[in-house]
């Protein structure tokens, strides 16, 4: 089955997580008036009650191109996972609703340059899929003692195609 990529918007993404960008109005002007602060844009949860804490990591992923065969989705039940691109390139964000503990039909979003995202706890998502090298991301997620990972392999992969 084919899935057409759609532009990432906060309302469309709301069931899955947060869109994080400096595109709208800023909250505060700081640093002698030279810097916009777009403040506290993600609902973070690091599962402190199960021994988790926040960590900052860097992911370096191989770039891929469309069409893309979506074979695998995963989710992290014990913590949110935030991806902030360290380049100005858009990237692909694939999510799916949870249907009885497996992913339902996936939805594929393309970010605008300068947009990051935060997956809420338990959101089914595809692996990190940059479309341009270097696929470099700052990742703010849970560091903790639980596995915090469920995977689902599709019997028949989906094909994600450009708009």
Half-sphere exposure of 71 (CA within 13 A, CB side): 1
Work out which of 109, 135, 158, 160 binds its own copies, going by CB under 8 A: 135
CB of residue 102 to its own copies, shortest distance in Å: 19
CB of residue 112 to its own copies, shortest distance in Å: 12
Choices 2-10, 30-38, 93-101, 155-163 (CB under 8 A): range interacting with its own copies: 30-38
Q: Do 50 and 135 form a contact (C-beta atoms < 8 A)?
A: no
Work out which of 2, 11, 25, 40 binds its own copies, going by CB under 8 A: 40
Work out which of 8, 42, 73, 160 binds its own copies, going by CB under 8 A: 42
CB-count burial class (<10 Å; 0-12, 13-18, 19+) for 79: buried
Work out which of 136, 146, 150, 154 binds its own copies, going by CB under 8 A: 136
157/121 Cα distance (integer angstroms): 24
Nearby residues of 101 by Cβ (< 8 Å), 6 or more positions away? none
79/70 Cα distance (integer angstroms): 23
Query: Is 118 one of the binding residues for its own copies (CB under 8 A)?
Result: yes
CB-count burial class (<10 Å; 0-12, 13-18, 19+) for 129: buried
Choices 6-14, 94-102, 104-112, 127-135 (CB under 8 A): range interacting with its own copies: 127-135
Kindly list the residues in this chain that would bind its own copies in the complex (CB under 8 A): 20-22, 26, 30-32, 34-42, 44, 46, 53-62, 64, 72, 82, 84-88, 114, 116, 118, 127-128, 134-136, 138-140, 143
């Amino acid at each position: 089955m084919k899935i057409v990529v759609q532009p990432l918007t906060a309302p469309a993404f709301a069931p899955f997580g947060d869109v994080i960008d400096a595109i709208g109005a800023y909250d505060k002007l700081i640093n002698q008036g030279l810097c916009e602060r777009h403040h506290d844009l993600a609902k973070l949860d690091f599962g402190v009650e199960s021994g988790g804490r926040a960590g900052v990591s860097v992911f370096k992923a191989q770039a891929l191109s469309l069409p893309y065969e979506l074979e695998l989705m995963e989710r992290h039940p014990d913590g949110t996972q935030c991806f902030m691109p360290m380049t100005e390139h858009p990237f692909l964000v694939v999510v799916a609703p949870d249907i009885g503990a497996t992913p339902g039909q996936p939805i594929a979003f393309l970010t605008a340059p300068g947009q990051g995202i935060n997956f809420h706890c338990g959101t089914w998502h595809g692996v990190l899929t940059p479309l341009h090298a270097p696929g470099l991301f700052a990742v703010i997620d849970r560091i903790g003692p639980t596995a915090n990972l469920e995977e689902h392999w599709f019997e028949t992969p989906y094909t994600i195609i450009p708009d």
